[in-house]
């Protein structure tokens, strides 16, 4: 298998068309692509996303049931005993900073948003510990408002697909937003994250077993032999680690 994509000779229109073909192809390859964090309310998703920084989604999902039960609303986080909260958050790493963020988020939501998570990006990013990535996760999955989540996987795949040359997440988000239809922003992010975790790894992408290799200018960064590449593909359990 070999790629015929020459990104250096690609027109803006051709790049847009290829980006949208990639999104569709990833949907066929990963029809079950979804957010891995468990939640039932916008507040729970906001908390889980804050806790996911430098931590696996699997570990966050192990920790959050106790956190959600102990702190059911914004006021509970605002009034949380710091030592008790830190004990619950310790397994996620950076637990002191995360406790600070959750207490601050609880206070801000209580004081400025009547205890409710706002459904606007400009309001979400004013909350302690909440940047555009976290805000877009919450908007896309809790409110159904399209948002591009640029985590390490989305950033890496965007550059490998030659959809951007940027490394700054805000600029990557802008470049992808100009190529992908707005209605697909959230699901495109989910699909790229799925693909990044399972196939297009940071160190050794499984190029020879990648179903969208023909659309990728970076084909060959990883093993191109199909059997060798197939051994690199991770299942759900491995990808969640």
Which positions ≥6 away from 230 have C-beta within 8 Å?
A: 206, 208, 209
Q: 175 catalytic, yes or no? A: no
SS3 category, 133: helix
Catalytic residue among 57, 98, 133, 175: 133
CB 143 within 8 A of CB 119: yes
What's the CA gap between 241 and 230, in Å, rounded? 19
In the annotation, is 151 catalytic? Answer: yes
Q: Tell me which long-range contacts 70-73 makes (C-beta under 8 A, separation of at least 24).
A: 71/47, 71/102, 71/106, 73/43, 73/115
Q: How far is CA 222 from CA 205, 225, 230, in A?
A: 5, 9, 11
> At which residue do the structure tokens 């601050």 appear?
104
From first CA to last CA, the distance across the chain in angstroms is 30
Distance CA 168, CA 172 (A): 6
- Among the listed residues 6, 81, 122, 151, the single catalytic one is 151
Write down how long the chain is: 241
Q: Give, to the nearest 10 degrees, the angle between helix 95-112 and helix 82-89.
A: 120
Q: Which residues are catalytic?
A: 133, 151
């Amino acid at each position: 298998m070999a790629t015929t994509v020459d990104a250096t000779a690609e027109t803006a229109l051709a790049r847009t068309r290829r980006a949208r073909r990639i999104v569709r192809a990833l949907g066929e390859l990963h029809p079950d692509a979804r957010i891995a964090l468990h939640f039932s309310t916008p507040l729970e998703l906001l908390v889980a996303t804050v806790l996911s920084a430098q931590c696996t989604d699997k570990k966050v999902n192990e920790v959050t049931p106790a956190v959600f039960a102990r702190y059911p609303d914004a006021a509970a986080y605002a009034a949380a005993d710091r030592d008790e909260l830190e004990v619950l958050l310790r397994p996620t790493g950076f637990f002191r900073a995360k406790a600070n963020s959750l207490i601050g988020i609880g206070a801000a939501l209580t004081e400025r948003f009547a205890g409710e998570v706002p459904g606007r990006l400009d309001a979400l990013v004013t909350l302690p510990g909440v940047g555009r990535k976290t805000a877009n996760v919450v908007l896309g999955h809790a409110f159904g408002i399209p948002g591009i989540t640029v985590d390490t996987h989305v950033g890496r795949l965007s550059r490998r697909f030659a959809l951007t040359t940027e490394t700054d997440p805000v600029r990557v988000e802008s470049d992808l937003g100009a190529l992908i239809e707005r209605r697909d922003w959230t699901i495109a992010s989910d699909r790229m994250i799925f693909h990044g975790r399972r196939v297009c790894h940071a160190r050794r992408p499984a190029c020879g077993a990648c179903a969208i290799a023909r659309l990728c200018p970076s084909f060959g960064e990883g093993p191109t032999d199909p059997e060798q590449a197939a051994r690199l593909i991770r299942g759900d359990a491995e990808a969640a680690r």
